[in-house]
Chains A and B, each alone.
Chain A
């Protein structure tokens, strides 16, 4: 069964600190992996997207890594800011259908305290 598991479920850090969020998946055949940021009451916004051949991708203070062999990804946030408080969702796409089926994790709820 294709699944996406994220950890931790929630995380609280102090402003200025770094943190790393984890994503494990069993989706096959794999097409790409995305990290989305979802602010409370808003729709998800794409942060990074990686295909099978990409190991790392950065977007400002966000750096995503992908190990396609172990089917693991991480999202590292550097020098956290209060505005980073949100849910971070890992989304994996398969290439087994024309639709490009997306599998969503439940997200990691990050809270940044001043």
Chain B
């Protein structure tokens, strides 16, 4: 079982609210990721980080922002939630790859519903 945690697990919120999805890992991994997944669809990378003070946008355009002040913490923030943000958000981490076999360890996800 991977030591990566996400809170909240479920969130129902009104349009226009600011929200922060928390993600933390205790494995000391340098790389962390945020994915968005709609039901029955593939995961889409929206943000990633190579380490502290490193953040990059992923393949899927997202209005969310992330920060990486500490190695173990990678929160995702939506300044003004909209119904189109309704989805499942998955956080993952992986160790710095010294070989090509790095595996991403996923958190349980946050299911977000914006009314």
In contact, B109 and A32 (Cβ under 8 angstroms): no
Interfacial residues, chain A to chain B (CB-CB below 8 A)? 4, 31-32, 34, 41-46, 49, 51, 89, 93, 95, 99-100, 102, 104-107, 109
Number of interface residues of B (CB under 8 A): 25
**Which of B40, B90, B97, B100 sits near A43, CB closer than 8 Å?**
B90
Write out the residue numbers on chain B whose beta carbons fall within 8 Å of the beta carbon of A93: 100
Q: Which residues of B contact A107 (CB under 8 A)?
A: 40, 42
B 92-105 to A, binary, CB cutoff 8 A, 1 in contact else 0: 10000100111111
Question: At the interface, is chain A mostly helix, strand, loop or mixed?
Answer: strand
Roughly how many angstroms separate A45 CA and B90 CA in the complex, as a whole number? Answer: 12
Are B100 and A31 in contact, CB atoms less than 8 angstroms apart?
Answer: yes
In the complex, B43 has a CB within 8 A of chain A: yes
The reply to whether B101 and A106 contact each other, CB–CB distance below 8 Å, is no
Q: By the criterion CB–CB under 8 Å, are A105 and B42 in contact?
A: yes
Q: Are B102 and A100 in contact, CB atoms less than 8 angstroms apart? A: yes
Distance, CA A95 to CA B102, complexed state (A) = 12
B16 to chain A, nearest CB (A): 27
Q: Which residue of B lies closest to A95 (CB)?
A: B100
User: In whole Å, how far is A20's beta carbon from the nearest beta carbon of chain B?
Assistant: 21
A31 and B99 alpha carbons, distance in the complex (Å): 10
A99 close to B48 (CB less than 8 A): yes
A41 lies within 8 A of B100 (CB): no
A43 touches B41 (CB 8 A): no
Q: Is the CB of B101 within 8 A of A43?
A: no
User: A41-B111, A42-B108, A45-B106 given as contacts; is B42 within 8 A of A51 (CB)?
Assistant: no
B76 within 8 A of A: no
A32 and B92 alpha carbons, distance in the complex (Å): 18
List 20 additional A-B contacts (Cβ < 8 Å) besides A43-B90, A44-B90: A32-B101, A41-B111, A42-B108, A43-B6, A43-B109, A45-B106, A49-B103, A51-B100, A89-B43, A93-B100, A95-B100, A100-B100, A100-B102, A102-B104, A104-B42, A104-B44, A106-B40, A106-B41, A107-B40, A109-B40
